[in-house]
Amino acid sequence: MFSGLIEAQGRVRSVQRNKTHLQLSLDLGTFSELLDVGESLAVDGVCMTVQHIEKGTVYFDVLPATIEKTTISSFFENRTVNLERPLAFNGRLGGHIVQGHVDGRGVVASIDNTSGIIKITLEKELHTHCIEGGSIAINGVSLTIAKLHATLIEIHLIPETLSRTNLSELKEDESVNIECDVLSRYATHQNTVGREEIGAPLGSESGTFVADRVAIQKVGNCLEAIRQGEMIIIFDEATRENEGDFFVPAQRVTAKDVTFMAKKGSGLICAPISADIAKSLDLFPMTSDNTSLHNTMYTISVDARKGTKTGISSEERAHCMRLLGDPQSRAEDFVKPGHIFPLLANSGGLKKRQGHTEAAIFLAEAAGYTAAGVICEILDEQGNPMRFKELQAFAKKHHMHLISIADMLAYQRAISE
């Protein structure tokens, strides 16, 4: 276990590849006198075992799993590396808990050594574990996340950190080792395992605390992604529909979004709207006797009155749904029936009904749009709804955020306390 407080710096002597691993040698000078063969040392945040020491040079064997996740394979002669020995039980604990188990790589988007501001691009799998004010280790250095952007984290470095670490030598587009806060990783894992196995958030008081902390982080990330123009995936619990839907706000839906939903989702493209919007546009329930399994409130279908030929093209459907989200729209702007299926959200929101319709309204409003969205169920190649594990794989493949209705409820609960 480490603290992320760098003790010293060394330089790469050589990186040699053989059939099964890399052999890394570092010139550590007098710092090597503090080490013994068999001990651990964090090198740019990667915990490795000392294999051999000779005249100030320390040798390590780097296995394929470590090579795959870290930047070690890109090390070059004379490159500066950050060094830290494991914490001693009788020593002082500073920084934050760092395990030396790198989660993945980030890429430097920008760095300004004058202001000390560095921005790192992260894959969504790593970005999910980040929260403003939270801890993160970059090349083994314990740092605080100053700002969280859609795909970036922003770090503010003090001169002391720049002078004592190799962060001052970073260049744009250079890869760095990332280790996320262990508490955040644990919280996300517990929250995911709890949902995957029982289809609901953790039930104990400690579980609720963990779920709320993760929910604030995950929902915040999704809202920022939505504001940046990204499509996300909403999924509900195994005890309900157990399905995932694409989502974008109606105000900014594009023909490209509609085409993607139709091709990759294959479900019914619908437009959730609030009761106020439905009333202002004279959109009333399709039937007065709703006997659907989940009390889904379809209104009569619509097309845009102007700019429509048949109503089925991606552009025409997107145009109609943008009108549904436009606060200036009137009932006369639509014809009935049509190719767009508005869904009337429960006026009590997610507290009253935990459906994709209500989730869409929550996300749209929380992201700063009107109370209208666009959703579409996601089906697999056999035409069946994708379940949680399939949705996870799909979201990862297409670089999309995946958020649960349970996360939204926990978020609402947390911010109201």
Return the structure tokens found at 147.
């700002």
User: Fold for domain 8-84?
Assistant: Elongation Factor Tu (Ef-tu); domain 3 (2.40.30)
Question: Residues with Cβ < 8 Å from 340, sequence gap 6 or more?
Answer: 269, 270, 271, 301, 302, 303, 311, 317, 320, 321, 324
- Reply yes or no on whether the pLDDT at 166 is more than 50: yes
Model confidence at 201, pLDDT cuts 50, 70, 90, reads very low
Query: Residue 401 pLDDT more than 50?
Result: yes
Question: In which band, very low, low, confident or very high, does the pLDDT at 413 lie, cut at 50, 70 and 90?
Answer: confident
The one-letter amino acid at 66: T
pLDDT at residue 151 in the model = 82
Provide the CATH number for the domain formed by 104-180 in this structure: 2.40.30.20
Instruction: Identify the band that residue 188 occupies on the pLDDT scale cut at 50, 70 and 90.
Output: low
Domain map (residue ranges) of the chain: 8-84, 104-180, 184-416
Q: Which tens digit of pLDDT belongs to each residue from 324-338? A: 999 999 999 999 999
Q: Which of 76, 119, 106 is nearest to 174 (CA)?
A: 106
| More confident call, 214 vs 102 | 102
Residue 344 has pLDDT above 90, yes or no: yes
d(CA 360, CA 31): 57
Higher pLDDT, 131 or 378: 378
pLDDT at 194 over 50: no
Predicted pLDDT of residue 185: 63
Mean pLDDT of 226-255: 90
**pLDDT band for position 190 (50/70/90)?**
low
pLDDT at 112 over 70: yes
Q: What is the DSSP pairing of strand 40-43 with strand 46-54? A: antiparallel
User: Has residue 31 got a pLDDT over 60?
Assistant: yes
184-188 long-range Cβ contacts below 8 angstroms, 24+ apart: 184/129, 184/130, 184/131, 184/134, 184/213, 184/214, 184/217, 185/103, 185/129, 186/210, 187/211, 187/213, 187/214, 188/128, 188/129, 188/214, 188/218
Predicted pLDDT at 177:
96
pLDDT at 128: 81
Over 70: is that where the pLDDT of 206 sits? no
Total residues belonging to the chain: 417
Q: Give the pLDDT mean for 361-373.
A: 95
What percent of the chain stands above pLDDT 70? 90
**pLDDT surpasses 80 at 358:** yes
Q: Cβ–Cβ contacts within 10 Å for residue 80, how many?
A: 16
pLDDT at 203 over 60: no
- State the fold for domain 184-416: DHBP synthase (3.90.870)
Asked whether the predicted pLDDT for residue 108 surpasses 80, the reply is yes
Residue 30 has pLDDT above 60, yes or no: yes
Instruction: Dig out the tokens for 378 from the structure.
Output: 């996601």
Q: Do 8-84 and 104-180 share a fold?
A: yes
Range from 18-22, 146-150, 200-204, 283-287 that averages highest in pLDDT: 283-287
- The Cα 75–Cα 329 span in angstroms is 59
pLDDT band at 200 (very low <50, low <70, confident <90, very high): very low
Instruction: Identify whether the C-beta of residue 400 lies closer than 8 Å to the C-beta of residue 230.
Output: yes
Considering only CA atoms, which of 119, 113, 120 is closest in space to residue 161?
Answer: 113
Averaged confidence pLDDT in the chain? 88
What amino acid positions are annotated as catalytic residues? Answer: 241, 245, 270, 298, 303, 339, 356, 377
So what's the pLDDT on residue 267? 94
In whole angstroms, what is the distance from residue 104 CA to residue 114 CA?
A: 27
Report which of 97, 122, 92 is spatially closest to residue 109, judged by C-alpha positions.
Answer: 122
Sheet of 232-235, strands arranged across = 302-304, 334-344, 266-273, 373-378, 244-249, 232-235, 402-404
pLDDT tens figures, 118-154: 999 988 888 888 888 888 999 999 999 999 887 889 9
pLDDT of residue 208: 52
Most confident of 65-79, 262-276, 282-296: 262-276
Quickly state the pLDDT bin for 17 (edges 50, 70, 90).
Answer: confident
pLDDT score of 360: 97
The answer to whether the CB of 318 falls within 8 A of the CB of 257 is yes
pLDDT at 51 over 90: yes
Task: Note the pLDDT of residue 282.
Answer: 96
Give the pLDDT band (50/70/90) at residue 195: very low
Strand-pair category, 232-235 with 402-404:
parallel
